[in-house]
Amino acid sequence: MLRFLLSFLFLAAVAGTRAAEVSVIPLPAGNLETQGELLLPLDAPVKAPATPAGERAVRLVVEALGGNVRRTENKGGPGVVFEPAADTKDEEAYTLEITPNGARIRGGEAGLCYGATTLAQLIAKAPRDGGHFRLQCRTITDAPRFGWRGFMLDESRYFAGEQEVKRLLDAMARYKLNRFHWHLTDSPGWRIEIEGYPALTTIGGRGNEADPEGKGEAEFYTKDQIRSIVRYARERNIVVIPEIDMPGHADAAVRAYPELGGGGYKKPAEPLKWPRFTYNPGSPAVWEFRAKVFQEVAELFPEAGMIHFGGDEVHFGWGGWSSLPEVRGLMQRENLPDNAGVEGWFVRDTASLIRRMGLKAGGWDEIAAQGLPVDGTVVFWWRHDQPQVLQNALQRGYPVVLCPRRPLYFDFIQHESHKSGRTWKGFNPLADVYGFPDALGLTAEQESKVLGMQACLWTENAATTRRREFLTWPRLIAMAEAAWTPRERKDLASFEDRLRAELPVLRTGGVVPYDPFANSPEVTDE
């Protein structure tokens, strides 16, 4: 028997066959195949606790079974049962047990939905046999590697709009992503309605990367649209994190309210497409603006627990901040030596305002050098070419979200033949996204401070929906598995097998991904 087994293993190795993995993305942490099959009828009863999560879980499974079928609650025969697990440590963890008698899912609030997502993927790929789906019996024990599994969309450079964002959230939920970081303000356009400052959208909402002077129509989200998107995300276990960038990237706001601006710009003789306006860090009008805007933002995003205030790429500009009278006053009062000292003060003051609102202050990795308290700060590491910035942030004890340009900025090209998009001593192919963050070589101790990871889609180079989706998919699926599946279970070849079967599903949902297997033609803005 042993000899037979060994020679079988040998032959399998020679033939290069691998045991096919369960056809689920992201790959579950534990998957044990057991004897037998479940014949799940199309009209199987699906029972869940009468909670929002329970109702969502039922909807996911019913849709997978073929939504319009009438279901009878008390019918005998196999069905699907969701049970809340009060004792769970990780609210996102779940177990899914498939036996010939039915499917049973146990988990916390989010876990029930993730269990339903997994079961729905299994059903979608299962052979159908008359009025049944044939499912292999198995026990899946699953929980994510990282709690923060995100995607950032830049809507300032180009505005995507409600429909595209909701479609994005649908697809994110399918792969158990749980954070949508919404870059709503930057130099080209301000995209979120603020009642106290209506010109932010009527004037600041005009313009995009191709229209720096703001000659076109205003494009922005009304408060009702924001609420609708936040609710839509919540129904998919996705938390929306608003970003209001300051003190840099302020052109759109300064276009609307010139009195808020100060610094950043180049000499008038050196015109730039974006003057790189900053807010005037010493102006009481700016401090009042900041407080009012954050107040309205906090109300619109009640579950975010955070305001991301940017803090990146501050350009002091011609003459520097210190040439502004308000800033000179501030420097004297606060004993600040130079422009960099003023930046540090402004960052600390902004973060402290956010913390006093009971929220965490999120910011790009520049903020890690400004002496903010570890509690109440979240650092987003983006400068891939400066690993010591990450090392220092972790060393100081900051919770960190990993989103380095390489490999997680999706405005970088994904195939060497692509002409449109960024490169930087290389680019961001699927395999590099999948291999992240293991290639960083973080210690277990360091990784314990890492909240998770996210991909960022900056849109200087992505004017249309088709192009944005081309850049996003399928790389975001690779990121989702990299963020969920335990390191020792990750396997690129297995992922590619499962991804091949997944691309048609994405297309059914209306998203047209890049096809890395066929090297499909590049989608550009031209």
User: Using CB under 6 A as the criterion, which residues of the chain lie in contact with ligand TNX when the complex forms?
Assistant: 312-313, 364, 382, 409, 411, 422, 458, 460
Report in angstroms how near the CB of residue 277 gets to ligand TNX at its nearest: 14
Which residue reads 């936040």 in tokens? 230
Q: Select 282 or 452, whichever has its Cβ closest to ligand TNX.
A: 452
Q: Select 234 or 422, whichever has its Cβ closest to ligand TNX.
A: 422
Q: Select 175 or 427, whichever has its Cβ closest to ligand TNX.
A: 427
Q: Helix, strand or coil for residue 321?
A: helix
Contacts from 356-359 at CB under 8 Å and sequence distance 24+? 357/294, 357/295, 357/298, 357/307, 359/298, 359/304, 359/305, 359/306, 359/307
CA 52 to CA 82: how far, in whole Å? Answer: 13
Report in angstroms how near the CB of residue 364 gets to ligand TNX at its nearest: 4
What are the distances in angstroms from CA 522 to CA 413, 468, 526? 10, 12, 11
Helix (H) or strand (E) holding 127: none
CA 482 to CA 515: how far, in whole Å? Answer: 19
Report in angstroms how near the CB of residue 154 gets to ligand TNX at its nearest: 6
The closest residue (CB) to ligand TNX is 458
Q: Select 165 or 367, whichever has its Cβ closest to ligand TNX.
A: 367
CA 73 to CA 57: how far, in whole Å? Answer: 16
Q: Select 164 or 460, whichever has its Cβ closest to ligand TNX.
A: 460
Report in angstroms how near the CB of residue 411 gets to ligand TNX at its nearest: 5
Which residue reads 């909402």 in tokens? 205
Report in angstroms how near the CB of residue 318 gets to ligand TNX at its nearest: 21
CA 16 to CA 274: how far, in whole Å? Answer: 55
Report in angstroms how near the CB of residue 280 gets to ligand TNX at its nearest: 21
Give the HSE-up count for residue 437: Cα atoms under 13 Å, Cβ half-sphere. Answer: 30
Provide the β-strand partners of residue 412: 422
Which residue reads 């900056």 in tokens? 458
Residue 374: other Cβ atoms inside 10 A? 12
CA 185 to CA 247: how far, in whole Å? Answer: 12
Q: Select 266 or 422, whichever has its Cβ closest to ligand TNX.
A: 422
CA 80 to CA 47: how far, in whole Å? Answer: 6
Report in angstroms how near the CB of residue 382 gets to ligand TNX at its nearest: 4
Q: Select 422 or 466, whichever has its Cβ closest to ligand TNX.
A: 422
CB 261 within 8 A of CB 326: no
Percent helix, strand and coil across the chain, each to the nearest 5: 40, 20, 40
Residue 285 makes CB contacts below 8 A (sequence gap 6+) with 259, 260
Q: Which residues are catalytic?
A: 313
